[in-house]
A and B are shown apart, each in its own frame.
Chain A
Amino acid sequence: MTLPAADAPPVLMPDRRVRVFISSTLGEAQEERQAVMQAVSDLELTPIYFEAGARPHSAQTTYRDWLAQSDVFVGIYLKSYGWVGPGMTISGLEDEWQRSAHLPRLAYVKEIHKEIPPGERQPELSRLLAEVGEVAKYHQFRGAEDLAKQVKQDLMALLSERFLNVPLPPSALKVTPGAAPADYPVPVPDLGAIERPGVLAQLTSLLTPGRSLVLTGQPGSGKTTLLKQFAREQGAAYVSLEHKTPLQALLTAGAAVAALRGEHPEFVTTEDAATAALQAQLLRGPITLLVDQADASPAAVRALLGITLGNGQAVYAANAVARDLFGSLPALSVPPLSQEEVEAVLAQEGRTLPPGELIALTNASQGNPLYLRYYLATGSGDLPLDLSAFEDLLWSQMDPVLQELTGLVALSRRPLDAEDLAPLLSAGGHTVTPMSVVRSVEASRGLLKIEDQTIQVFHPHFAGSVAEQLEGNGTARSFHRLLADVALTHRQAAATAFHLREAGDPRLDKHLMEGGRAAFLMGDWNLAADLLQRAETRALEKADLVEAGLAANQLADVLSQMTDEKGAQAAIDRAVERFEESKSPQHALSSRIFRSVLWVKNGRAPEGITELEAARDHIMTLPEVDSQMLAACEVNLSYAYKYVGRLEEARAAAERAAEVFARSGHQEGEHTAVINAAATAAELGDLDRAFELTERLRETARQRPRLEAARQNILTKIYRKRDEPEQAEVHAREAVRLSQQLGSPELEVMNLNTLGNTLIDQERRNEAEAAYREALTIARRVGDIHQEGHALELLSRLPLDAGDPGGARELAEQAMEIQRRYGDNVRVATTGEKLGKAYGQLGRWSDAATVLEESARAFMPSLVDNSGNAWVQAALAWAETGNLTRALQAVAAACKTFLAESAPILPEIQSAEELKPLLLSLSTVDDERYFLGLAARCVVRSSVISGEDGPLDLLVTYLAEQTAEGSVQHNNVLAAVLAENALSGQHLQEVEQTLILGRQNFHSHDEEEARLYTVGVQAPSPFIVQLILVGSGTQLHGLGLAIAMLLAGNETLLSQMQQTYSITTAQDFTIMLTTRSAQEAIAPTSPAVSAAIYQRAFITSLTPGKPNNFLCMIDDTQPIWNTGGTDQRSGGYIQMGIDLTLLLANSWGINTDKNTDFSRDVVSAMLR
């Protein structure tokens, strides 16, 4: 037998068992008190209760003393507050509660049921219960049996929590010595050291006992950092081979290993002895040897490689794998920093860049940590000057052959391979073969690299540095002459012209036009502009007006791309003039076509389009139609149409042009036409076709950055519309990068805006805002007002979403002003949507309605949904002004827009008097109750605003009559109207009476404070639903009636759903619908329930143990606000529908994984 420990709690005598004080009024709670006393006794606890009767002390003295000696308080509350004794201001019931504050308290309240209708509980008791609810959780009970069970459970839980929990001894709280606290600081990395855990993990995983590994990477790629991190984190011997002989390397390695073991290094003086000593060290136990700067001393590497590693391993870090040194050792290349890593490095330094600059920096540094560190060291946007010193050092360390090779590669306009370079180097006095070129590259310590068979300088910045060196020492010209010859051999016009220009070679004249044209196509617009300006000047010198005109024409195109609109306009005017002067009608026509396009771009769209259409018609009337000219005209028209939002026409023109160009083999024209066709197809939502067209250009675009930038932009749009924003972002960033490469601010701004959109799609609002703001800054800097307007419009969306309509209005108004000035209907339409929303949120409904109508009209006809939605929003906004006539006109316009040919004949609405004819017309639309519902909502809202009841009376009567005749359409619209809480009690009675007499499956039993609706649904598995409405007020009445109507009026739909979801059993169920205020009149709502109600307007909870009883609560304590179309009420109504479907799903036993589908199907059918 084990005796209890001396400090264990003693066994309590029966009279010292836990005493449970039972508090209640005496008369009404007799049965409940008896049940609780029994429950307490069952638990072998002592019930303490006060009963009337003769006692030596007063009642107050008795119960107060007993309470003071009790351990637990149990309060039972029904409807009576109890008696207030002489000299007291509160009843004994409340006195007991107040005096029990020191005890654990359990409170039980009889639930509001038929036995205690709302209002019968004494107000004093309700007040007391409110106080009880503030400090304790209480349970509701139905009857004595229920109460006893609950009390027993609660007491058991309370006792186990409160009386049996022995506090832990202090020792249990002691912290184990040596254990790291959770918030132990992580070591701060060295300044400039970039943590790359992924790469480090990869390196660790590749290490094999007894073997070596080569870690490669460009100078500055972070190899040393990586090795040092490895040494620090995992324990390893580090040795750098820079400036070391083999002996020095062996001694240093030996010392490092010894230090790692906490030993003194062995003193040796010969290479053999050092090798033996190190060998012995390594064989004593596994050690990781990290050998940095391996390509600085091949001899030392060889010495180290000759040592057996035992179970240890070695890592050699080198710029490149020298095969003669490392043979077939496994290698790991340190990857360049990704854009995200660059961003992380910047963030580590507390810096952020707008997305455009980030792309530019990643691109410029090529993900090279060294260059990035230089950037960080100076903090400026430009790479620092002291980098040049580093690069000069690299250059000076090269041997002459490598310098020549690097110089040619660095200066070349086009990628060179070993075959190109071998003869060039030979011509320089060396005998060089392609193989020896490759060997030279391999020996360059990573300064040169071979990618896709072409030889490249490791970093573009270093290439620039080399070019400067050559310019400085006067050898660049000869290099360029050599490179021009190679380019000429390969028929590369832009490169030829470039190198000839750089070499000062007089052969340039013959290559100006062709070179300028090629440079333009390649996106090298600065070169193109320079070459073309030279070409125009040279042609004028030769008095060749046609040639001058052609050069000016091409130059205009280039300058336009560079957003030098004035320069472009001047150039095209010169071209037209010179062609006309030279009597070249074909060329003159061509220039005029292009001039028209420039007009379109520069705010003279109508004029430009008229000119283009006239030109097209003129070409068609010529005796011999010049198909290429016609195609050129069409392709430009497609651009112009697209610019002003006439997308269908734009697409048709582009497709026609592409076909003609393809037939005639005019590739350049074909590419432009295909891009235009793809862009318009994407805008029109024909994504498969758009994708197909971009794929057609994939190969060609690789060589043409401008084309590729356009292609990437279209791909961005396609993926956005496909709801794949991450993929869209990749394309948008590439488009921004290409725009920067092209040096086109116009393109960059456009693509930054697009990038922002992809970020918005991913809810990355701050990044999106940075992109838009950068776009806005650039647009303003270069004076691109059009793109400025677009950026402003996009920016306006952010405050709108953030609940700052004032901020949104300001931005959207500025944007709208610009868009209107430019006549850009597409943007007027989209900006109008945002501005309308902002006005709406500011309560400026009239302004909202007006601008939304402008937006609706501005959308191109093909964008039916956008235009129609704008009409819908306008209708709702007019309703909010109380102007029902304008609202109904907008409803009619929405209907005509959405339904087009199939729209019913609608009356021309001149006044709200036409409501009935309009309702009748809208009711004829098969399967579409949307417009009827919209009109109904307008009537309801305008009636609320204007106080005019006439139209509302008419509406309710009309809908009720139609519903009674069996119309599902009208039934569901009427349900929505009921849920609006705009109808009077009289309206509701009228509807209810009509339903009772008109719908055999709807039944009502109304009382003053409670209504009971019964609805039967005849389906394959028929079922009955009862709705109990507890509380008063039109909101509860309207919503309850709406739910009943949705069930009663949709028997066919519910039957179909049972078949679709293979329902074989449908349970009857009950919904109790109440309001928060009705509930709070009984007991305060808990914070959790309050939060749930606030968020959803409705809550649904299953009554424990009764799977077919549900409670829905409406929050009628919050003010209802309206934002025109998507307000709390309709949200609540839809939520109500969703809740209803969830109840159905539950009673039908539908699996929870199908609930969403089911809910969507039913709600979309009922509430569409």
Chain B
Amino acid sequence: MIQNPSLPFAVDYAVRYTAVFASFDDFMTPIREHLHALSYSPPGPAHGVPGPSLAFIFDAQKAAEEVFAIFQKWVGGQETGVAIGLSLVARVTGDYVLCVYPDAVQLQARFAPGPLAAHLNTQVVTPAHIKTFPGPSQNLAAFRDAAQDQTVAILPGLKDGALAPGLAIIGVPVRFLEEAELNPSGFEYALLHGVEPSRSPAEPDDHRPEILTRRRQTLLSRYFPVTLERLRFNTAFQGDLRQLADEGYADWQVQQAACNLTLPERLGDLPADQRDAVSVLIELENSPEELSQPEPRWNLESLRTQLERDVRELIGWLAPERAEASLAECQEWLRQRGDLGECT
């Protein structure tokens, strides 16, 4: 009993997979439907929040808590709210627009935590929402004067005057912009005009074997520390390792295959439609292997099957044109490249 062959996980931990991250946090609905007003308070001891503060006044407590829970998620446990993009754009009509969106870098770090951000080719699609308030507003002018060169605190409030300072997020940078002066490549311009923000091109990848080896070794060690040690202690596995080495496989290939064989059990609750390599990596990053990890299970047959999948995964990335080649041809190509240097 090894795994359900219909749900394979083929991952090569040296491959730089491409990931597109998009946030689907729905905070637009509660903002649109329940955000009643913005309320500025000058610096002072009010609510125990330092500096100027901006209360988001809702007409429903549930909506207020939902929106701030999403803001907290963007902040991701940091002490300040730098991960929140907050702009107030004065329109030529005299109205003003509240723009709220998560910081792309922070979002990327949250979706691809740890070394994954550097390991993946990431593209981030950030959610951003706007709400227009009628203007002009003296309150806004006072707020702008007080908060022009510093960060502010934002907190939720209700129409009856109740506030939740415990949910306050401090250190949020706020920008005051004029519609006419918006930078066409900026986020606010794109929001106001409904166009895609511009992106910088990805850097070319380095496929040298030593680079791949280092990358693979780092991630395998990071994601399978317990399994790797148990395999190292296991004399049966060491025997199989030697057997497969005789068949031309590198040690790292066998170890990687054995690690991948643990994935169905470890990531059993990962929906079938998310069993792509990126989802696997994110899940592994977010769920470090613990001592409760079950003993690895394998046999030569399952290892050989997994090895072939993994080889094809690597070839598919390194040399897609060889996708139809036989396993032996792929292995030989890798050997010549120097990827199997550890092979005994």
- Would you call B228 an interface residue if the criterion is a C-beta within 8 Å of the partner chain's C-beta atoms? yes
A122 to B165, CA, bound (A): 9
CA of A650 to CA of B218, assembled, Å: 65
- With an 8 A cutoff between CB atoms, is A904 at the interface? no
Q: Which residues of A contact B207 (CB under 8 A)?
A: none
| Distance in angstroms between the alpha carbons of A782 and B78 in the assembled complex | 76
Chain B residues near A85 (CB-CB < 8 A): 162
Q: How far is the CB of B283 from chain A (nearest CB, A)?
A: 13
Whether A1016 and B233, one on each chain, are in contact in the complex, defined by CB atoms closer than 8 angstroms, is yes
Q: Does B288 contact A (CB under 8 A)?
A: yes
Say whether B291 faces chain A, with CB atoms less than 8 Å apart.
Answer: yes
Known: A1005-B225, A1007-B114. A1012 touches B288 (CB 8 A): yes
Task: Determine the residue in chain B with the shortest Cβ distance to A122.
Answer: B166
Partner of B222, one of A83, A1000, A1003, A1024: A1003
Q: Are B162 and A997 in contact (CB under 8 A)?
A: no
CB nearest to A25 among chain B residues: B166
B326 at the interface (CB under 8 A from A): no
Q: How far is the CA of A1016 from the CA of B291 in the complex (A)?
A: 11
Complex Cα gap A87–B166 (Å): 16
What is the CA–CA distance of A1108 and B291 in the complex, to the nearest angstrom?
10
Task: Contact check, A1018 vs B228: say whether CB atoms are below 8 A apart.
Answer: no
Contacting A1006 at CB < 8 Å: which of B61, B78, B114?
B114
Interface 1/0s, chain B 228-261, versus A by CB < 8 A? Answer: 1110110000000000000000000000000000
Contacts of B114 in A (CB 8 A): 1005-1007
Set of chain B residues within 8 Å of A1022, measured between Cβ atoms: 229, 232-233
Instruction: Name A1013's closest neighbour in chain B (CB-CB).
Output: B225
Please pick, from B165, B214, B222, B291, the residue contacting A84 in the complex, using a CB distance under 8 A: B165
Check A1018 against B161 for contact (C-beta < 8 Å).
no
Interface string of A265-286 (1 = CB under 8 A from B): 0000000000000000000000
* Alpha-carbon gap, A569 to B218, bound state (A): 83
**Interface footprint category on B:** 35 or more
Contact A83 B288 (CB under 8 A): no
B166 touches A91 (CB 8 A): yes
Interface flag for A120 (CB, 8 Å):
yes
Q: Identify which of A119, A125, A1024 contacts B291 (C-beta below 8 A).
A: A1024
Pick the contact of A122: B113, B167, B232 (CB < 8 A): B167
Could you say which of B61, B214, B221, B291 contacts A1070, with CB atoms under 8 Å apart? Answer: B291
0/1 per residue, B250-291, Cβ < 8 Å to A?
000000000000000000000000000000000000001111
Question: In the assembly, what is the distance between CA of A1005 and CA of B72, in Å?
Answer: 24
Contact of A1014 among B77, B78, B217, B226 (CB under 8 A): B226
Q: Which residues of A contact B223 (CB under 8 A)?
A: 1005
Find the B residue at minimum CB distance from A128.
B166
Tell me the dominant secondary structure on chain B's binding face: helix
CB–CB B79/A119 < 8 A? yes
List chain A residues, Cβ under 8 A from B167: 80, 122
Contacting pair B65 A84 (CB below 8 A): no
> Taking the complex as formed, is B163 at the interface, i.e. its CB lies under 8 A from any CB of chain A?
yes
Contact among A86, A120, A1012 for B160, CB-based, below 8 A? A86
B48 at the interface (CB under 8 A from A): yes
A533 → chain B closest CB, angstroms: 89
The contact of B229 among A1001, A1004, A1007, by CB within 8 Å, is A1001
Interface residues on A, range: 35 or more
Q: Is B337 an interface residue (CB 8 A)?
A: no
Q: Which of A81, A1003, A1069 has the most CB of B within 10 A?
A: A1003
A131 within 8 A of B: no
Residue contact A27 to B65, C-beta cutoff 8 Å:
yes
Determine how close the nearest CB of chain A comes to the CB of B172; give it in whole angstroms.
Answer: 16
Question: In whole angstroms, what is the CA distance A1003 to B220 when docked?
Answer: 9
In the complex, the answer to whether B161 meets A1003 with C-beta atoms within 8 Å is no
Supposing A996-B218, A1009-B77 touch, asked if A1026 and B290 sit within 8 A by C-beta, the answer is yes
Check if A442 is an interface residue, CB within 8 A of chain B: no
Task: Flag whether B300 is at the interface (Cβ < 8 A).
Answer: no
B164 at the interface (CB under 8 A from A): yes
Let me know if A767 is at the binding interface, CB within 8 A: no
**Complex-state Cα separation, A883 to B120, whole angstroms:** 48
Instruction: State whether A124 touches B217 (Cβ < 8 A).
Output: no
Q: Tell me if B113 and A124 are in contact (CB < 8 A).
A: no
Contacting B at CB under 8 A, from A1065-1082, are 1068-1070
Interface string of B283-303 (1 = CB under 8 A from A): 000001111000000000000
Report the nearest B residue to A124, measured CB to CB: B166
Q: Which residues from A are CB-within-8-Å of B226?
A: 1014, 1024, 1026
Q: How distant is the Cα of A81 from the Cα of B48 in the complex, in angstroms? A: 13
Contact A1024 B217 (CB under 8 A): no
For residue A1084, CB closer than 8 A to chain B, the reply is: no
Q: Which residues of A are found within 8 Å of B225, using beta-carbon distances? A: 1003, 1005, 1012, 1014, 1016, 1024, 1026
Is B222's CB under 8 angstroms from A1018's CB? no
Q: Which residues of A contact B229 (CB under 8 A)?
A: 1001, 1003, 1014-1016, 1022, 1024
A806 within 8 A of B: no
In the complex, chain A residues whose CB is within 8 Å of the CB of B288 = 1005, 1012
Instruction: Kindly provide the distance from the CB of B205 to the nearest chain A CB, expressed in whole angstroms.
Output: 20
Question: CA separation between A858 and B289, bound complex, in Å?
Answer: 59
Question: What are 17 contact pairs spanning A and B, CB under 8 A?
Answer: A86-B160, A86-B161, A122-B166, A123-B166, A124-B165, A1002-B221, A1003-B221, A1004-B221, A1005-B223, A1005-B288, A1007-B113, A1009-B77, A1014-B289, A1016-B225, A1016-B229, A1016-B230, A1018-B233
> Given A119-B78, A997-B214, 4 more contacts at CB 8 Å?
A81-B165, A83-B163, A1018-B232, A1070-B291
